[in-house]
Amino acid sequence: MSEQHARVHAALRRIPAGRVVSYGQLAAQAGIPRGARVAVAALRSAPDDAELPWHRVLRADGRIGFPPDHPLHGEQRLRLQNEGVVVVDGRVSMSRYRADDRPANSLLLPAVDDP
């Protein structure tokens, strides 16, 4: 496995249940800017026993990446719904369910626009 793919897998494992990311956001969290295609390749090449929460990764517009008639489309929808994510017509509200991509320690720091 490449070092980039390992970083993508590690970043994906940090996405909490009930939250989603886009392929590009996942790549950015893995330290690979503009690396959406790297994230796709990392998920495709993952061994079946990797137990990655692959279902938490969506297209940037919130759509499930598989065609509606693909078996994994339904599986991804069900996995997301089981985590409390609302899926309507194969789409998730990214503004509602997107995982916070700030580093964990940034939660302790005030935001730039805070007084």
The count of structural domains within the chain is 1
What does the pLDDT look like over 19-39, one tens digit per residue? 999 999 999 999 988 889 999
In a domain, 113, yes or no: no
In a domain, 38, yes or no: yes
> And the tokens for 69?
């008639």
What does the pLDDT look like over 55-88, one tens digit per residue? 999 999 999 999 999 999 999 999 999 999 999 9
HEC string for the chain: CCHHHHHHHHHHHCCCCCCEEEHHHHHHHCCCCCCHHHHHHHHHCCCHHHCCCHHHEECCCCECCCCCCCHHHHHHHHHHHHCCCCCECCECCHHHHECCCCCHHHHHCCCCCCC
Reported pTM: 0.82
In a domain, 107, yes or no: no
- Residue 2 CB contacts under 8 Å (≥ 6 apart), including other chains: 42
> 27: domain range?
3-100
pLDDT band at 106 (very low <50, low <70, confident <90, very high): very low
- CATH of residue 27: 1.10.10.10
> And the tokens for 68?
């509606």
Looking at the predicted structure, is the pLDDT value of residue 46 above 70? Answer: yes
